[in-house]
Structure 1
Amino acid sequence: MQSLQFKVGQWVLDERTFCIRNNDKHVELSPTAFKLLQLFISHEDKVVSIATIKEQVWQTEFTTDNLVYQTIRNLRLALEDGNEQDYIKTVPRFGYQLIAPVTQHDSKQVSRSVAPRTEREKNRFVLIGGILVTLLAVMVLTRYTWLYFNQTQSQIALKVNTPAHLVVINPFSGQNNEVFSQFVDNLSKTLHITQVQRAEHSNMLETINGLGSDTKIVLEYISDKNAMLGLVFMGLPSRLVHIEMKPLEKLDQAVVSNLVSRVTTPMLKQGNSGIAELVRANTQLKALASLSNSEQLEMAKQKLFDEIEVNSLNEQQKRAKLAFIDTLLAFYQIDHFDNERLLSGVNYLLARYHQSNYSIISAALYLAEQGAINIAFQLVEKLEQDHFLTYIQGLFHLELGEDKRALHHFEKVFKHEQSFEDNAYFYFQELLYSKQNTQMRQYSGWLESKSYLSNNIDYIFFNWYVMHGKFELAMSLLTRFQDQLTCNDDLTGSAAMLNSALGDVRWSERWMTQLNEVNARDWRIPWLTFANYATADTLATYSNWYQGYASSVLGNNGLFEPLFLSAVIELSIGQKHHAEQAQSLMTKATSSFSQDAVIKLANAVIESQLAFDNQDERIQYLLKYEPLALALPNDEIALSDLILGSYFMLNDDINKAERALVQGCKKSPALCERWGTLPIFSAVVNTTSTQLTIKNAKHVISAAQPALEDFNQQLFQVCR
């Protein structure tokens, strides 16, 4: 039996394709939005509570209210075409009501009172007349559009008279200022704009919203790319519809014409890409960020693309989903896409799915990956929330260096959706290095019940165990998942660190050989070399090792941490001149693997020894860094403890120095035995507490050897 077709207001429902149609215009709805519309039709003239919507549409009462609000918003945008509550009325603090007339598609009314026949005939004649007028208008518009688009770009640029505003973000100064200024002048003249607006990152959206509903072009210089970023916003509140990214040396008339053409023909259409369901339901997509093994990653990507191929309603929706996936893969730096392909995909989404969070998320991911993180964050900051968007906002907080706010976002999502692997990875990663890392204890046995596609979360817990001296738990964690492990930098680096911490230099170097083959630039290699040299009592050769490593592996990039360690060693053997050379390279280092607070304190430790011979002057200099030292984040290697211990010894606070070294002993018992080889610690290593800790470290190393040997023998098979 053929299902009835209903008409809601001007829209006819097509249940086969989840579309609504109005003459030749059709809009794709997500399955969820379509189901919600059907629910409203079945409750015609009645108010539907939010609880009923959750139960009937999502089959669960645990759906977030924000997800309901977002779906209502998308449905309204599709139905109402910008006219507020013509179709769906909000009943505050209760629910929603469909107020548009509902009829069967054969014009038999479902439940509304029937008008007299004469009135219906009048309406029919009016309708037919309206259709004829509309068809005539469409023909005229089509002819005009054909003529318009067959003009050259330069002709388009000259004939622009659409109201528009030009906004420049943080105008830069320097050698490229003239090129950029000429481009701004050229664009403003073409658009007949007499006054260019200025804005800061912090108030960009407020500024362009304050310009009303006219079109806005926003320009910014991206220094890392030496390029001009152009964004076209429409309406109020401002809606992004186009992105342009061009190198500064290519700011010619063609770029001007392209931006101008976007002002005059924004191509806005209603529709839904189906991306929301893709994100919410697809485990492969949720695992992309945390996958590190290429074989697993390729499998996950293939499953994802197969799902898109099978479950897309049409070619347009398929292209929208693939464009969204492209931006995700590029943002995570999993795949490389050329700029033109990414721009094309993002602009495709923006032009056709402007009401969807996911088109804006795609644009934001692209902008963040291109270096415009402030603009990217503003785009998503005030969108209605769902779990995926909250997670994306957390990533942007990380990019902005706002770790606490990032952790808050990841925690919020994790509490509701632990199966979201990307978010779980970043949640535990941030939790590990936060002041609340003791919370990880409650999840220590939780991993066994999870079936994530990657092992990255396992390695985070491995680091947590090492950080707290729980070496046997660290070993059992990895051996338990042995069949799922691969010989990547996570496995080889973690195993090398574990052996180094427990004093087995031979096995540590065997694992480091494997690590070098996988990733010779891995951040652990300089620290592992230092720790192993300390255990073997060959620290004096560390500076020579780093010089060879820098020239053969790092190239022109200087790495901060090994330069700091070199300076520490040179000072310990009285080579102040060599320490000064190391410090000079530290200030020019282009790379590091530590947090900014650790680097600042490390710089202060070396500077205080080189610049001040007088102890009182040195202490006075160091005191301004004490708040930084007291709040220094912990991690899985003893580098931060070495820095802290040095800082407090130089600051003449032996008690705090002692606590720092004791904490370092938990992570690296082998290094604990070698603290005394550095003259700066000569006094603190003889305290009762430190001596007791060193004695315990020897016991930990001895007791762990049988389990460590089994661990090495079992897991090294993975790399053969």
Structure 2
Amino acid sequence: MQVKVGKWILEERAFCIVCEDKQVELSPTAFRLLQLFVSHGDKVISMSTIKEQVWHTEFTTDNLVYQTIRNLRLALEDGTEQTYIKTIPRSGYQLIAPIVKQNDELVQAVAEPIEGISNKYSKLLLTVFIGVTMAVVLASIIFIYFIKPQSTDSVHIPDLVVINGFYQTKSDSFNQLVSQLSSALHIESVQRAEHASMREAINALGSGTKIVIEHIPDKNALLAMVFMGLPSRLIHIEMQALGKNDRELISNIVSRVKTPMLKQGNSGIAELVNASKELKALVALSNSEQLKTAIQSLHNDIELNSFNEQQKVAKRAFVDMLLAFYKIEHFDNERLLSGVNYLLARYHQSNYAIISAALYLANQGNAHFAFQLLERLEQDHFVTFIQGLIHLELNEDPRALKHFEKVYKHEQSFEDNAYFYFYELFYSERESQLDAYRSDLERSNYASNGIHYVFFNWYLKHGQFEQAMSLLLSMKERLQCSDDMTRSLAMLNSALRNTQWSERWLQKLDGLNARDWGIPWLIFSNYVMQGKLASYSNWYNDYVSNVLASHSLFEPVFLNAMTQLALEDKQQAMQSLAFMTSASGSFSQDPVIDVAKAIVNVRLAPANPDERVSLLSQYEDSALALKGDEIALPEFVMASYFTLYGDVGKAEQALILGCIKSPAMCNAWQFFPLLQGAASTLNVERALQHANDLIKSSQPKLIELNKQLYDICQ
């Protein structure tokens, strides 16, 4: 039985539709949906029926149905909406294109009467047929050449748009390349646009081919993107260092412009994203054997559930881009760019091709471009999640949090999104809301432990050490000896003044990840608690020589400067200050770094009290806005700042907060001459008494926890 819907013939074995020499590949789900429409003729099919018949469950999300309907329409309709599938408001969907079913018997029955006609009538019919055919051909020629306006598509000159205007760049090579590209494509005028109005500018140019280029100064590179259609769809990306091979770069762009006819279809990535638990858990996993297993499972899934090599290549390219964006695996730019362009060339109508391009652009420092590609996509949960990630790249954390929250409310099992949602909540002004999600965590079945460690850190931040230990014990059967585990246990023991066990866990952490952000703070706090402040500088010098190879991380060099100032070694502190100016923060937020630099600067500057206050006043807003985390470093910075600023009350509040999350550090404030005034107040002394009582009462359970979990790392 052969089925024809409108102009398309259904090829069931290949999951595709064919019209003359054009073939469009469908995902298995989209093809099953099309078969469902055919089986119902022109009847309206409800959403619940579609879910039950196509996905075999009524719990499929509406967004997934909408996305599949959209992809099927794009394949069938060539951009003309609802000529095949009509939306019936509040009822469902209806196939309105004609359906023709025929088999060999039907074809034979039609052929037999023709063979029975006498030769006389056959010749007459043939003569009439030839005459009519010639008349139609002649009429077509007259219409095409004398009546119908000539189409300019084949000779259309594309538009060239330069972001931020090449007249603003000082790169002669870029200006020269713009001229060469204009000459190669016979472009007479060059449009200019800003980042914020890029999409509006290229859409205003109509449905022809548009080229958008931008100079990337820090890489002295050209980013070129080719768009077509309306709304403008990205079909090709080029990024190359200027002067490296301009001729090849121009050739690539020109060839893409001259062959803009692309296949439509869905690469099957939608099913991969919705079905693969491993894909949804990649970012929440630490760099461990569990991660390698998840990636291998993902590749096995691609091999087993792809019905041709094109789908396999498309899925692999998409997964490569996610792994690179999450910084899980490193791929060279050439491989990533090749994968992106493969997706854009074959599946340019698919959300996932555009997502891959957006992630690539964000990785290359063009997050504004990336977000513009995403913001007009038809929304599903995965697209919303990716938009949240791009907001993070743009340092727009509140907007990112809203995206993650929207997805979590509809799909708690989406592990990547849940991880980012809780992580962003933890560092936001709404972090108290995490308490309401503890029951969700208990019911969850996440593949990794990353989300659990977010809650563990939240317990530490609020001094809820009993709950933190209970959480680790409840996870015992599925814990792995990862940097998350060893760091968490080292922090827990350090906060409760069990330095012996803290150092044992630190040795494991050092073996797993010697550059882990927690190591400098834990070494510093353990030495201070033992009254061995001078030992930190010796450790830091070894750490720089053997691990960092430079004074590149801000936090350890800042702690070294504060150690040297406490020991009144101003000469060495001056050197540390010089290193601080070029070092980058590995875990601290920008306000913490700004205030920390100001503290060291002021303590080294020979200024009177009035001058000191004047210098510090410009950082007051930053100091007041500092956000706490699971360690007492922000409180250490705040207390130092407000002591120098002359506000003992706020310094006292900072020290008390530090005592809550790290009771052991409450005993260590006295070793810093700068903090002794604030540390001797009645309120801080009360906090110290409470801290010591907590340390004492926690030891039996803490020691038992260490013994039970240490075997995991043996």
- Using the size of structure 2 for normalisation, the TM-score is 0.88
Q: 1:614 to 1:63 in 2, by over 3 A?
A: farther
**CA deviation after TM superposition for structure 1 residue 175, in Å:** 10
**CA deviation after TM superposition for structure 1 residue 235, in Å:** 1.5
Q: 1:64 to 1:615 in 2, by over 3 A?
A: farther
1:73 aligned residue? 70
Match of 2:376 among 356, 363, 382: 382
**CA deviation after TM superposition for structure 1 residue 526, in Å:** 1.0
Report the AA paired with residue 354 of structure 1.
Answer: H
Counterpart CA distance in 2 for 1:175 and 1:37 is 52
Report the AA paired with residue 18 of structure 2.
Answer: R
1:322 aligned residue? 316
**C-alpha contact (below 8 Å) 2:551/2:579 kept by paired residues:** no
**CA deviation after TM superposition for structure 1 residue 52, in Å:** 5.5
Q: Does 1:657 align with 2:654?
A: no
Query: Partner of 2:243: helix, strand, or coil?
Result: helix
Count of residues in Structure 1 that have an aligned counterpart in Structure 2: 679
Counterpart CA distance in 2 for 1:249 and 1:553 is 37
Match of 1:201 among 195, 198, 223: 195
2:119 aligned residue? none
1:400 aligned residue? 394
1:143 aligned residue? none
- Using the size of structure 1 for normalisation, the TM-score is 0.88
**CA deviation after TM superposition for structure 1 residue 690, in Å:** 0.9
Kindly report which structure 2 residues correspond to 1:136-215, keeping only aligned pairs within 5 A, or say none. Answer: 162-170=156-164, 177-215=171-209
Match of 2:586 among 585, 592, 597: 592
2:341 aligned residue? 347
Query: Partner of 1:7: helix, strand, or coil?
Result: strand
**CA deviation after TM superposition for structure 1 residue 560, in Å:** 1.0
**CA deviation after TM superposition for structure 1 residue 570, in Å:** 3.0
Match of 1:256 among 241, 250, 253: 250
Counterpart CA distance in 2 for 1:458 and 1:65 is 29
**CA deviation after TM superposition for structure 1 residue 96, in Å:** 4.0
Match of 2:259 among 247, 257, 265: 265
**CA deviation after TM superposition for structure 1 residue 372, in Å:** 2.1
Counterpart CA distance in 2 for 1:57 and 1:125 is 46
Counterpart CA distance in 1 for 2:388 and 2:712 is 35
**C-alpha contact (below 8 Å) 1:293/1:486 kept by paired residues:** no
Q: Please identify, of 40-49 and 224-233, the stretch whose mean Cα deviation from structure 2 is larger.
A: 40-49
**CA deviation after TM superposition for structure 1 residue 698, in Å:** 0.8
Q: 1:125 to 1:663 in 2, by over 3 A?
A: farther
Return 5+ residue gaps in structure 1 as ranges: 110-116, 138-159
Report the AA paired with residue 320 of structure 1.
Answer: A
**C-alpha contact (below 8 Å) 1:231/1:243 kept by paired residues:** yes
Q: 1:687 to 1:125 in 2, by over 3 A?
A: farther
**C-alpha contact (below 8 Å) 1:397/1:406 kept by paired residues:** yes
Counterpart CA distance in 1 for 2:603 and 2:247 is 58
**C-alpha contact (below 8 Å) 1:171/1:221 kept by paired residues:** no
1:101 aligned residue? 98
Query: Partner of 1:197: helix, strand, or coil?
Result: strand
1:245 aligned residue? 239
**C-alpha contact (below 8 Å) 1:220/1:229 kept by paired residues:** yes
**CA deviation after TM superposition for structure 1 residue 534, in Å:** 0.8
Deviations along 1:332-371, whole A, 9 cap, x unmatched?
2222223332222211111111111011111112222232
Q: 1:462 to 1:517 in 2, by over 3 A?
A: same
Match of 1:713 among 704, 707, 712: 707
Deviations along 1:265-316, whole A, 9 cap, x unmatched?
1241121111101100111111122222432222222222222222212222
Report the AA paired with residue 479 of structure 1.
Answer: L
Q: Does 1:501 align with 2:495?
A: yes
Match of 2:25 among 28, 32, 36: 28
2:470 aligned residue? 476
2:508 aligned residue? 514
**C-alpha contact (below 8 Å) 2:314/2:343 kept by paired residues:** yes
Report the AA paired with residue 569 of structure 1.
Answer: T
1:626 aligned residue? 620
**CA deviation after TM superposition for structure 1 residue 642, in Å:** 0.8
Kindly report which structure 2 residues correspond to 1:1-16, keeping only aligned pairs within 5 A, or say none. Answer: 4-16=1-13
**CA deviation after TM superposition for structure 1 residue 612, in Å:** 6.8
Report the AA paired with residue 95 of structure 2.
Answer: L
Query: Partner of 2:210: helix, strand, or coil?
Result: strand
1:364 aligned residue? 358
Counterpart CA distance in 2 for 1:38 and 1:653 is 74
Query: Partner of 1:401: helix, strand, or coil?
Result: coil
Q: 1:292 to 1:257 in 2, by over 3 A?
A: same
Counterpart CA distance in 1 for 2:16 and 2:586 is 52
Report the AA paired with residue 31 of structure 2.
Answer: F
Query: Partner of 2:481: helix, strand, or coil?
Result: coil
Deviations along 1:555-581, whole A, 9 cap, x unmatched?
235211122222323333434443333
Kindly report which structure 2 residues correspond to 1:314-713, keeping only aligned pairs within 5 A, or say none. Answer: 314-611=308-605, 613-713=607-707
**CA deviation after TM superposition for structure 1 residue 95, in Å:** 4.6
Counterpart CA distance in 2 for 1:606 and 1:461 is 33
Q: 1:208 to 1:481 in 2, by over 3 A?
A: same
Q: Please identify, of 646-655 and 74-83, the stretch whose mean Cα deviation from structure 2 is larger.
A: 646-655
**CA deviation after TM superposition for structure 1 residue 30, in Å:** 2.4
Return 5+ residue gaps in structure 2 as ranges: 107-113, 115-124, 142-153
Q: 1:63 to 1:631 in 2, by over 3 A?
A: farther
Q: Please identify, of 51-60 and 392-401, the stretch whose mean Cα deviation from structure 2 is larger.
A: 51-60
Deviations along 1:58-82, whole A, 9 cap, x unmatched?
5666655544433332222111112
Query: Partner of 1:444: helix, strand, or coil?
Result: helix
- State the superposition RMSD in angstroms: 3.0
Q: Please identify, of 460-469 and 295-304, the stretch whose mean Cα deviation from structure 2 is larger.
A: 295-304
**C-alpha contact (below 8 Å) 2:551/2:557 kept by paired residues:** no
Query: Partner of 2:460: helix, strand, or coil?
Result: helix
Query: Partner of 1:250: helix, strand, or coil?
Result: coil
Report the AA paired with residue 26 of structure 1.
Answer: Q
Match of 1:217 among 211, 233, 237: 211
Deviations along 1:567-621, whole A, 9 cap, x unmatched?
3233334344433332222111134321112212222333343447333343344
Counterpart CA distance in 2 for 1:320 and 1:677 is 60
Report the AA paired with residue 206 of structure 2.
Answer: G
